[in-house]
Structure 1
C-alpha cells in the first residue's frame, strides 16, 4: 500500500494526460450505468475541477498577456498580425459553412419554455454599450467576474506601460507568469478526475438516451464543426505554409481538442494550448500572446452555433431566408462569436441578437437559447474543442509563414 500511493501520484504527474482523460471518461460511464446513485454524488469532483479552472483562468490571462506585451519584440509583430487575420477569417468562414449546411439540411426544433429568466443583448446598440463598459470595468472586478474583455483591456494597457519599465521589473513579471503557469499546470493534471465526475453525473442523470436528443440538430452542428476542423482550417494552413497541414491539425485535435471537449472552456484550456505550442517548438513570445487572445476572439465553433440555431428557429417559424440575409447573418454571427465568453455556454445568450435579423420575437428567441442548453452537453463540448484547437493551429501556421518569409530574405 505504501508503494501504491507514490506510484499513482507519479502516474498522474507523468502519464499521458489524453489517455488519462479517456480512461476517466470510460470509467465515468461504467460507474454511472452500474451505480447511478453513487455516480450522481461523483458530480462534485467535476464541479470542483471546473471551478478550479474558472478560478485560475482569469488570473492566467491577465498576467500572461501583460507579460507577453511587456517583453514583446518588434520581430513578432508581423506574425501576430497574421494570427489575428486567421482568427477573424476563420470565424467568418465558420459562419458561412453553417449557413450552407443549414440550407442543405434545414432543421426544425421543438421550441420549449424556459424556467429561469435569462438576460441577453437586445440589439446592436446594447451590445456596443456593454462592450464599452466591459472594457473600462474595474480590473479586480473583471478578474473576479471572468470579464475577459475587461481583463484583456487592462492586461494590454499594463503590458504596454511595462515595456518602458526596467529589466528587473520585467523579470519579476516574467517570474510571476511562470509561477501562475505552474499552479495552472497542477490544476490541469486533475483533468482525468474531473472528467470522471462530470461524465458520471451526466450519464447517471440523463442516461445514454438523454445524450441522443435533438439528433438532427446536433448532427448539423457537429457536422459543420468537423468540416471546419478537417477541411477549412487545413486549407487556411496550407495557404499560409504550403505544407501538408494534417499532421499539425491532428496533433492539435488530439492534444488540445480532446481536453477542451471535456473542460468546455476555451479560457480554461489555455495552459494545455501553451504546453502544446511549447512542444511544437513555436516562438514563446508569439504564442504567449496569441493563445490568450484566441481564447477570446477565435470562436469558429460559437459562430456555427449562433448561425445554425438561428436559422433553425427561422425554419421552424416558417420565415423565408434569402441569400443576402443569410450572408448578413454570417457577418453578425462572426462578430457576436468574437465577443462570446470563453466559458461553457458562452455563445448561447447571443442567439437572440441574431434572431432579431428575422424579426423573431425575443420570447421565442429565448426558447431557442433553452434548446441550446438542452443539447449543450455535446454541442458546447464540440464547439470548445474546435475553438481551442484552432488557436494552436493558426498560431503554428502564422509562425511557420513568418519563419519561411524570414528565411527567404536571408
Structure 2
C-alpha cells in the first residue's frame, strides 16, 4: 500500500452526549444554523485543506450525519471519507476509525490527528502546532496551563496532595501522532483488555511511548453542557457580522380541492390552490425572502415553472434548498417573519404547527419563525376569496 496523503484527521462523533440533556446527540445540535459536527469539520478543513477527514459516528446516526454534511462546501465533502462506526467507548471508536484508515487501499497516512467533534473552535494555528508536534515527537497532545489550584482528594473528600500548577496542563484535542505508533498502541491496549484510558495520549503513554505536550488554545472549548451550547452559539453569531434582510411575496388563486399547503403543513379547506408546484404560497414567499437576502435570484430562477420536474412538487424542497444556500455560505437564518393574507381558512388554529413545520424544513429553532395572518377586510382578490397572498421578511447573518 502506498501513502498518498501525509495527514488524516479522525473526528470522533459517536457519543450520545447524555450530559447535555435530551434530544439528539450534541454533535448534531444546531448552533448558529449548522450542526456542531458541521462547524467542527469546516474548521478542520480550513486549517488543513489537503487532509483526509474520517468521521467516526454511531451506527444509529447515519441519517443525522448525512443531514449534517449536506450543506458543507463541496471541497470539504470531497475530503470526507465514508464514516466509520464507533464502539461502546471512545477508545473503541478511535480504534475503529484507525482501522478504517488502515484498511483503505493506498490511503494510509503518515500522521493522524484525533479530534473530538464537540470541539468546534479548533484554530488554524492550533492545527499547525499539532502537525508540527506529530512530525517532531511522534506522539503529542495540546495542553493549556492550569490557573486554578488543584487538590487531590481521598474517598472521603479529604485533601491528600496539592500538585504544583506549573507542572499541570489541561489536555485538549486534536491529539497528534505518527499513524503507525498510535494504531499499534490502540491495538495493544485492546488486546490487553485495557479499556479505561480516557484519551489517546494516555493510550500512547500506557503503551510505553513518550508523549510531548505542545501549546493548546484556551479558546478551544469542548461543548459538554447546555450552558456550553449557549456560549458556543454566542461566539459563532459574533463571527457572522454581515447582517442582511430579504423580502418575498407570493400569491396563488383558489381552485378545486379539499386542502391547501401552508408552510409545509396540509390545512383542510373547501378549495385548493392552483400552481405549478403544490402552490404553498407561504413557503414560496419565505424562499424568495431567503434568496433575496443572499442576492441569489428568486424561486423562479432556481426552480422554473417551465421545468416539468417541479410540476406538483412539494414546496418544502424549494425552501430547504434556499436554507441550505445560507448554510453553504457559512451563514445562519436569524429570523423569518411572514404574513398570510386571506379571509379563509383561519390560520390561527394552525399557527404553531405551521411554525414547527417551517422550522424543521429550514433546520432552525422554532423561536426564529414568526407567522401572522390577516384579512383584507373583504377588499381585493383576497377579500373576494379568489386566492391567498403571503409576504415574508428573512434576516440572515453571513461571515464577512
Which structure shows the bigger proportion of residues in strand conformation? 2
TM over 0.5: same fold?
Answer: no
TM-score, structure 1 as length reference: 0.21
TM-score, structure 2 as length reference: 0.21
Which structure shows the bigger proportion of residues in helix conformation? 1
Larger Rg: 2
